[in-house]
Structure 1
Amino acid sequence: MLAATRALLPNAPFVYAADYAGLPYGRKSDEELAARVPALLGRLVERFQPRLAVIACNTASTIALSHVRAALDLPIVGTVPAIKPAAALTHSGVIGVLGTEATVRQPYVDNLSARFAAGKTVLRHGSPELVTAAEARLRGETVDPAVVARAIAGLTDQPGGEAMDVIVLACTHFPLLLGELRTAAGPGVQLIDGASGIARRVAQLTAGQDWPATPTPGLAAFTRSDAIPPPPLAALRPYGIGRTETI
């Protein structure tokens, strides 16, 4: 998502914030996230004074987006599963939604399916170990193909799963494993996420605003966690990150 947004706004300053102290979001209760996400974003907004904020997490968005918008006085862009474009792409009428456990159980996903995929079959699977694998990939570690295979099997093993031809990557970590996911899903299955749509929305909300004349290296800010080490700066540089700090 950061890469897609920087492609449209190459000179915009970015702060990428990762709540490592709060991971995994997918196994937290709705009540925990509804309290944690607005509080954390409030701290970030006070510290960095951004023009807008993107909740670059499907789980946090489906649970806490309304709470954040009520608490903060700036544009907030949420990230939700790309079911609408998936419904336009499918030929078989069977769509998979691969996300965290918290995301796939949300009524928000029910509503998206009813609005944009009526008459189609929407299969869901939550894979916490795929989130862990994606974080490992970002740190440069090897990913076990069996983890990816199990995540895809969580969809294909459901009734009707053999006909699935589109999978929505409903977690912003999962594109880090795009190659492995494509291999496991097979050549007849398209994988999509919402990164390009979020990038276009950010560009729309900042249209006409002035940016620095040259690209500005971004900052990655991590909440402190003793359990999960943040990725090295070298892994973040391809996304335009020039420095990191702990908050």
Structure 2
Amino acid sequence: MSKTVLVFDSGVGGLSIYEPIRQQLPGLNFLYVFDNECFPYGELSESRLVERCCQVIAAVLMRHPVDLVVIACNTASTHVLPSLRQMLTIPVVGVVPAIKPAAGATRNGCIGLLATPGTVARSYTHRLIQEFAAHRQVLLCGTTELVVQAERKLMGLAVEMPVLAEVLAPWQQGALRPDTLVLGCTHFPLLKEEIARLLPDALLVDSGDAVAKRVMHLLGSQPETEQNKTSRAYCTRDDDKAARLRPTLQTYGFESLTCLTC
């Protein structure tokens, strides 16, 4: 029987983590839960963030048996994992910016970290840089604009390229130009095509494949197909924006979108 993985985020950014897991382990059952009622998580206090994530995940586990939880959000991962691991008896996997692989991949020694302002400012991020990229030049850019644009894209709306161009302008025109870009928010890989248009020579690095490998390690090999395999999506607020995401969620393999009562 296929095992079930819960992928959790405040918005649709977690789909960039879900998709590599699905590609490497297509026989899994998936639950995708996005807490749009409290989106974005970067605006919550640490205590409220921990409380909210535990609350929503507990509500999901009352409905479904789950074998592993993926916190597909950099902001939540840096705060919530200890509490969740204490609360649950199943594995919990988090997401961190892919600074280590970027440090090994750069050719000119200059890396750009593109993340939310909270991730850029967080001491955890600076410890990662010091540990894995102390010998590299790491340029930091904190933005919430790309989160908004990724959400727009998955709702079927046009990405506002001038907004992206303004965010990335220092790396397009500056004296220091990174040749490797860490997409340090799970929303940002959803804009890979658009970012590549503006920085065509940069290698874009994210955490999706690393998380998928970790899930595979923890769960082991799974059946390639399962007759009763299911994938369901849940939101925490049923509004027009959530409704616009239904067609996109269907293309990712989710047969339904239901509002979760917490």
Q: Above 0.5 in TM-score?
A: yes
2:189 corresponds to 1:197: no
CA–CA distance in structure 1, aligned partners of residues 239 and 33 of structure 2: 17
Letter in 1 for 2:220: A
Letter in 2 for 1:193: D
Partner of 2:233: 220
Contact 1:51 1:74 in 2 (8 A): yes
1:66 aligned to which of 82, 91, 105: 82
2:145 aligned to which of 110, 114, 129: 129
2:191 corresponds to 1:177: yes
Distance 1:75 1:176, change over 3 A: same
Partner of 2:163: 147
Contact 2:102 2:181 in 1 (8 A): yes
The within-5 A match list for 1:94-113 is 94-113=110-129
The Cα offsets for residues 177-216 of structure 1, whole Å up to 9 and x where unpaired, read as 111111112x221111110111111111111566862472
The Cα offsets for residues 132-172 of structure 1, whole Å up to 9 and x where unpaired, read as 110010010011101211222365677x6x33111111111
- The DSSP-based 3-state class of the residue aligned with 2:101 is helix
Runs of 5+ unmatched residues, structure 1: none
Distance 1:41 1:51, change over 3 A: same
- The DSSP-based 3-state class of the residue aligned with 2:197 is helix
Structure-2-length-normalised TM-score:
0.85
CA–CA distance in structure 1, aligned partners of residues 75 and 248 of structure 2: 24
Contact 2:238 2:259 in 1 (8 A): no
Partner of 1:90: 106
Partner of 1:51: 67
Letter in 2 for 1:177: L
2:220 corresponds to 1:207: yes
Partner of 1:234: 247
Runs of 5+ unmatched residues, structure 2: 1-16
Task: Report the CA distance between 1:40 and its aligned residue.
Answer: 1.9
CA–CA distance in structure 1, aligned partners of residues 236 and 170 of structure 2: 31
CA–CA distance in structure 2, aligned partners of residues 22 and 111 of structure 1: 28
Structure-1-length-normalised TM-score:
0.90
Aligned-residue CA RMSD in angstroms? Answer: 2.1
Task: Report the CA distance between 1:116 and its aligned residue.
Answer: 0.9
Task: Report the CA distance between 1:234 and its aligned residue.
Answer: 1.8
